[in-house]
A and B are shown apart, each in its own frame.
Chain A
Amino acid sequence: MSAVEPHVILRMGSHAEKDYFSKTIHLFDGIILGANLVEATPGASASLLVRFAGQKTKLPYYLDPMTYAFGSYVDGTNRHRSDLDWIKSEQTRKTKSGTKEKYRDFKRSYRGLADRIGEPLKSAIAKGRAIPPEAFNDAVLTESFCKAVVDYQLNRIQEILGEDTEFKEYAAEAPRPAVVFAPYFYIDPTNPVAWTTAVLNLASASTALSPERPVHAALCADMELLTNQSLIQRLVTELPKTQAKGVWLWFSGLLEEQADGPHLAALKSLVQRLSASMQVYNMHGGYLSLALSKYGMHGISHGVGYGEQKGVLPVIGQSTPTVRYYLPSVYKRFGVPQIARCFKELGIETPQDFHDKICDCVICKGIVTTSIDDFDAFGEMHKSTPSSRRFAQTPSAAKRCRFHFLLNRAKELKWMKTATVADVVGQLQEARGTWGPQPSMQSELGYLGVWESLLAS
Chain B
Amino acid sequence: MASFERESLLYPLVADYKRQKSFQLQAPEMQFYEYRIDLFGFSPTLNLSVSVELKLNNWRRAVEQALLYQLCSDYSFIALPEPIVKRVNLDLLSSHGIGLIAVGAAGLCREVLGAAQSKVVRAFYRDAYIDLLQRRQ
Stretch at the interface among B4-12, B26-34, B42-50: B26-34
A residues less than 8 Å from B119 (CB atoms): 344
Q: Which of A335, A344, A440 contacts B33 (CB 8 A)?
A: A335
List CB contacts (< 8 Å) of B106-132 with chain A: 119-120, 122, 124
Does A439 lie within 8 Å of B96, measured CB to CB? Answer: yes
User: With an 8 A cutoff between CB atoms, is A373 at the interface?
Assistant: yes
Minimum CB–CB distance from B64 to chain A (whole Å) comes to 7
The stretch of B16-24, B66-74, B78-86 in contact with A is B66-74
Whether a CB of chain B sits under 8 angstroms from the CB of A379 is yes
**Closest A residue to B29 using CB positions:** A390
Q: Is the CB of A337 within 8 A of B71?
A: yes
CA separation between A336 and B35, bound complex, in Å?
Answer: 11
- Report which of A373, A390, A391, A443 forms a contact with B122, defined as CB distance below 8 A: A373
B31 touches A440 (CB 8 A): no
| B11 CB, nearest partner CB in chain A, Å | 18
**Contact string against A for B residues 36-80, beta-carbon threshold 8 Å, 1 for contact and 0 otherwise:** 000000000000000000000000100010011011000000000
Residue from B34, B70, B120 within 8 A of A335 (CB atoms): B34
The answer to whether the Cβ of A352 comes within 8 Å of any Cβ in the partner chain is: no
Which of B34, B67, B68, B124 gathers most chain A CB within 10 Å? B34
- In the complex, whether A238 has a CB less than 8 A from a CB of chain B is no
- Contact between A340 and B71 (Cβ–Cβ < 8 Å)? yes
- How far, in whole Å, are A336 and B32 apart by their CA atoms in the complex? 10
User: Is B32 touching A337 in the complex (CB atoms < 8 A)?
Assistant: yes
Q: Would you call B124 and A440 a contact (CB within 8 A)?
A: no
Kindly state whether residue A381 has any CB partner on chain B within 8 Å: yes
Would B122 and A440 count as touching, CB distance under 8 A? no
- The complex places the Cα of A381 from the Cα of B128 at a distance, in Å, of 14
| Residues of chain A with a CB closer than 8 A to B60's CB | 443
Distance between Cα atoms of A336 and B33 in the complex (Å) = 8
> Is the pair B33, A379 in contact by a Cβ cutoff of 8 Å?
yes
Q: Which residues of B contact A381 (CB under 8 A)?
A: 31, 33
Cβ-defined contact, A337 with B64, below 8 A: no
**How far apart are the CA atoms of A338 and B32 in the complex, in Å?**
11
Distance of B38 from chain A, by nearest CB (Å): 15
Interface secondary structure of A, over-half rule = loop
Residues on A with beta carbons closer than 8 Å to the beta carbon of B31: 381, 390-391
Known A340-B122, A344-B119, A373-B124: A440·B68 in contact at CB below 8 Å: yes
List chain B residues, Cβ under 8 A from A379.
Answer: 33-34
Docked complex Cα distance between A261 and B35 (Å)? 31
**Chain B proximity of A72: nearest CB distance (Å):** 36
A338 and B120 in contact, given A322-B34, A381-B33 (Cβ under 8 angstroms): no
Q: Which residues of A contact B35 (CB under 8 A)?
A: 335, 337
Q: Is the CB of B33 within 8 A of A341?
A: no
With A322-B34, A335-B33, A443-B64 already in contact, the answer to whether A376 and B120 are too (CB < 8 A) is no
A440 touches B64 (CB 8 A): yes
**Complex Cα gap A439–B76 (Å):** 14
Complex interface residues of chain A between 318 and 349 (CB less than 8 A to chain B): 322, 335-338, 340-341, 343-345
What is the minimal beta-carbon distance from B105 to any residue of chain A, in angstroms?
A: 31
* CB pair B70 A341 closer than 8 Å: yes
CA of A417 to CA of B99, assembled, Å: 49
Question: Of A341, A344, A391, which one neighbours B67 at CB under 8 angstroms?
Answer: A341
Distance (whole angstroms) from the CB of A444 to the closest CB of chain B: 9
Q: Could you tell me the distance between the alpha carbons of A96 and B96 in the complex, rounded to whole angstroms? A: 66
Residue-wise interface mask of A (292-329) relative to B, using a CB-CB cutoff of 8 A (1 in contact, 0 not):
00000000000000000000000000000010000000
Nearest-Cβ distance from residue B53 to partner chain A, whole angstroms = 13
* Chain B, Cβ-Cβ closest to A375: B124
Measured between C-beta atoms, what is the minimum distance from B59 to chain A in Å?
13
Shortest CB distance B90–A (Å):
16
Chain A contacts with B in 429-453, Cβ cutoff 8 A: 439-440, 443
Please determine whether B34 and A344 come into contact, CB atoms closer than 8 angstroms: no
Closest to B121 in A: A344
How far, in angstroms, from A340 to B35 measured CA to CA in the complex?
14
In the bound assembly, the distance between CA atoms of A344 and B119 in angstroms comes to: 8
**Minimum distance in angstroms from B41 CB to a CB of chain A:** 19
Q: Bound complex: CA of A391 vs CA of B122, how far in Å? A: 21
User: Within residues 146 to 171 of chain A, which ones have a CB less than 8 A from any CB in chain B?
Assistant: none
Interface set, chain A 361-414, CB cutoff 8 A to B: 371, 373, 376, 379, 381, 390-391
The complex places the Cα of A57 from the Cα of B78 at a distance, in Å, of: 57
Q: What CA separation (Å) do A335 and B69 show in the bound complex?
A: 13
* Extra pairs beyond A341-B67, A343-B120 (7, CB < 8 Å): A322-B34, A335-B68, A336-B33, A337-B33, A381-B31, A440-B68, A443-B60
**Can you list 27 contacts pairing A with B, beta carbon distance less than 8 Å?**
A322-B33, A322-B34, A335-B33, A335-B34, A335-B35, A335-B68, A336-B33, A337-B35, A337-B68, A340-B71, A340-B122, A341-B67, A341-B68, A341-B70, A341-B71, A341-B120, A343-B120, A344-B119, A373-B122, A379-B33, A379-B34, A381-B33, A391-B31, A439-B67, A439-B96, A440-B67, A443-B60
